[in-house]
Amino acid sequence: MEKLNFIFPHGFLGQAQDWDGVIQNLQKEFPQHHYQALDYFNHPPLSPKVSFEKWSENLVNYLGAEFGNQRLILVGYSLGGRLALHALTYFPEKFSFLFLISTNPGLLESQVEERKKRRDDDQAWSQRFLNEDWEVVVKDWNLQSVFEGSKNEPERQEKQFRRDLLAKALSNWSLGGQEDLRSVLTVNQRKIAWTAGDLDRKYIQLTKDIFKTCPDMIYNICPNSSHRVLFDNPVELSRAMGRIIRKDFK
């Protein structure tokens, strides 16, 4: 098996070390491959100050300089998954495979009111992360319904983040302003593995809907997991990835 390069973009309010459990398990079984958790908020060309398209271009340039023509595989969680999907959208030839975890491909274009509400909500969160007491806003963030069932809520300390970049991510990379990328999933379904937690009711329904147009995509429902799959069950997530690596990457 040739050397593969796995690049892991974290989610919003995330850190590179969020992937430690998954990467450690993969390294045990596949030590010949390279694993890099992408600390993109702290890498200016990949910060939330740029658009989805520019981020994708900068990512390709960054990875090209480091890995040349070696095979690249993106493993994205939540916001990191949306960013990875944009990279595939603009540069499909650059990536051999994507693992998308708790990833939203975008609201439908017909969901005009939902899009507006999401933009407004994200703008409100943006101002809160920029101006309010850190402990209060993080607590309220974690109380959102999408995180219901989370068993291993990560601790987030203010000193670990730049609040201006968190605010910028919410406004610049809002789901409400993102294009619907379902067509990208359909065209690339044979090079995507899709994962949702079995306790994540919203994303289980999203998975069922996407399956109707992408039956050839690899699907994985991770047991005992909420939206925060990589925190709730990193062992099973890495096992599921390992099964795909053994089968599809010879």
HEC secondary structure over 114-176: HHHHHHHHHHHHHHHHHHCCHHHHHHHHHCCHHHCCCCCCCCCCHHHCCHHHHHHHHHHCCHH
In this prediction, residue 154 carries a pLDDT of 87
**Interstrand relation of 97-101 and 218-222 (parallel, antiparallel or unpaired):** unpaired
Mean pLDDT per segment of 10 residues, for the chain of length 250 residues? 91 97 96 96 96 98 94 97 98 97 96 96 98 97 92 90 98 96 97 97 96 97 96 96 89
In this prediction, residue 75 carries a pLDDT of 98
Strand partners, 192: 98
In this prediction, residue 250 carries a pLDDT of 67
Q: What gap in Å lies between CA 4 and CA 96, rounded to an integer?
A: 9
CATH of 4-107+179-248, one of 2.60.40.1180, 3.20.20.140, 3.40.50.1820, 3.90.1150.10: 3.40.50.1820
Q: What gap in Å lies between CA 76 and CA 54, rounded to an integer?
A: 18
Two structure tokens written together for 43: 């890498």
In this prediction, residue 30 carries a pLDDT of 95
In this prediction, residue 228 carries a pLDDT of 96
In this prediction, residue 3 carries a pLDDT of 87
In this prediction, residue 153 carries a pLDDT of 81
In this prediction, residue 34 carries a pLDDT of 97
